[in-house]
A and B are shown apart, each in its own frame.
Chain A
Amino acid sequence: MNIQKLEILLTFILLLLSAISPNLFVIAQAGIAQLSSLAFKFLIPSVTLIFIIILILKIFKYTELVRLTVTGIIAGLIATVALEIFRESGFRLGTMPGELPRLMGVLLLNQFSSGPDALSDAAGWVYHFWNGAAFGIIFSLLFGQSKAWQGILFGLLIGIGFMMSPVVKSLGIGLFGFEFKNGYEFATTVTLAHVAYGFALSFLLRRFNKRIPNIWLRLKPSLLNNYI
């Protein structure tokens, strides 16, 4: 396998691995499997593999790809703080039905019946922030030095996807949370939180990924060369 082909392959593997974590919560809430077992089978291996691939990329001197992945993780983590400002405020003001990171924690450690404790809270928050980092990797790999509108759109899409997912259905508040309170509080909070996340992500990656174009421009020469 030549170097160009390996770069394309590793980029797609990174995208695939990053998409695993956020989807596990959705799968669990759809009743397909328990989050605790999914964490062992998919979450931990996917996170481990991402870091192994970063190491491989570093060894083979794929500096651009390493930079995109690492900056994606960092920007994703910071952007989750921006999301949290809205989500946590919303929860305290009563516009959110529950503390999702705490719920994630008890589901991850399979201790719903005994309720959350310090360990499950820690697990839930780590998982929540890792999801932010995972979306950060995806965005960074796709857009490189991104623009604000791309980030806002990305955040909006995540928010809409979340509000249509089994997670929200399982909270018993209906699609988009229309059955919660007056029907608009949940959707407004989630939308604002995800727009804040997307904007923060693009704002940071605009600086972190200077002069790195989007995935199409990056991989086009390799793809065309291989095709010809």
Chain B
Amino acid sequence: MKYFKSKILGLAFIATSLLSVLNANAQQAKLITVKSVKSFEMTVEGIKKGVADAGMMVLAEINHGKILSMTGLTINAESIFIGNPNVGKDAFSDNMAVGLAIPLRINVYEEKRVTYINYFAPSSELGYFKGDKVKMIGQELDKKISMLTGMFER
């Protein structure tokens, strides 16, 4: 009896550990990288224009290239923060902590003359936060961003 008890306890421990590992993996934000067929400048401009069609707006921009030029580094890289105040209202109403994940950040950079767009899938980032509405918004934003960045793959 004692033998079985310790066996069951051992199995339960392994199962709990496995579950926590799986859970941690599931909680990791999913990084998506898209190779753009357009130049860096055209990709940045295209995203800014395409954001309106996706029902969002550019809320802020960080021009890494220009900022880093102050340190003597010459690169092409820019982050664009996009969002929609109404969607934000829904998300924040559901969970006040979502400000960490929204507005969404799309990063455009050039490496060896090839332009890339990368971002964390909104559903994976918003997945960290409790709230059904938040999760639903994440999934909707996944589609919107995928459509937006997909324009540059063709």
Contacts and interface: CB of A to CB of B under 8 A. Distances in A.
Interface of A: 91-92, 94, 97-99, 102-103, 106, 112-117
Interface stretch (B1-9, B25-33, B69-77): B69-77
Contacts of A98: 70-72
15 contacts: A94-B72, A98-B72, A99-B71, A99-B72, A102-B70, A106-B67, A106-B70, A112-B67, A113-B61, A114-B61, A115-B63, A115-B67, A116-B66, A116-B67, A116-B69
Identify whether the interface residues of A are mostly helix, strand, loop, or mixed: loop
B63 to A, nearest CB: 4
B60 interface: yes
A123 B71 CA distance: 18
Given A113-B60, A115-B65, 4 more contacts: A97-B71, A112-B67, A113-B63, A116-B69
Contact of B70 (A92, A94, A99, A114): A99
Contacts of A102: 69-70
B82 to A, nearest CB: 14
SS of B interface (majority): mixed
Interface string B66-102: 1101111000000000000000000000000000000
**Max chain A Cβ within 10 angstroms of own Cβ: one of B62, B65, B66:** B66
Nearest to B63: A115
B69 A91 contact: no
Interface residues of B, number: 11
Contacts of B66: 114-117
A90 to B, nearest CB: 11
A99 B63 CA distance: 17
Interface of B: 60-63, 65-67, 69-72
A14 to B, nearest CB: 33
Contact of A113 (B62, B69, B71): B62
Contacts of A116: 66-67, 69-70
A99 B70 CA distance: 5
A210 B64 CA distance: 51
A25 to B, nearest CB: 15
Nearest to A105: B70
B120 to A, nearest CB: 20
Contacts of A117: 66
A89 to B, nearest CB: 13
Nearest to B60: A113
Nearest to B81: A113
B40 to A, nearest CB: 15
- Which 3 residue pairs of A and B lie closest in terms of their CB atoms, listed nearest first? A115-B66, A115-B63, A98-B71
A103 B71 CA distance: 9
Contacts of A112: 67
A30 B63 CA distance: 24
A30 B92 CA distance: 32
Nearest to A99: B70
A122 to B, nearest CB: 15
A98 B67 CA distance: 10
A91 B69 CA distance: 12
